[in-house]
Amino acid sequence: MADAIVLITTDSDMVGDAAERIVEIDGVRDVYSVAGDVDLVAVVSADRFEDLAQIIPQGIAKVDGVAATQTLMAFRTYSKEDEAAAFDLGGD
């Protein structure tokens, strides 16, 4: 599984419209509107890292109102649920 966090800057009057279009793209799990240097944050998952090339530059970046994207590739996931499961299996 390949995961990425995409930081998205939009035209100021297109935040909501862009978010609604982005969340409909296959592979986009969630889209958050945020305060700060960017307008939206998208969580993207694909079967392979190569698939992210279709989802992000060919999908998200081409949505009307998207001015720029910055992609953070996830190498490893840490979560409370994963930690609890490992302990249940005898991991440490």
Q: Which CATH number fits domain 2-89: 3.40.640.10, 3.30.70.920, 1.10.530.10, 3.40.50.620?
A: 3.30.70.920
What are the boundaries of each domain within the chain? 2-89
Q: What does the pLDDT read at residue 78?
A: 83
In order along its 92 residues, the chain shows pLDDT tens digits of: 899 999 999 999 999 999 999 999 999 999 999 999 999 999 999 999 999 999 999 999 999 999 999 999 998 888 776 655 555 555 55
pTM score: 0.85
Q: Are 18 and 82 in contact (CB under 8 A)?
A: no
Residue 21's alpha-carbon distances to 26, 31, 46, 48, 50, in angstroms, are 11, 10, 18, 23, 22
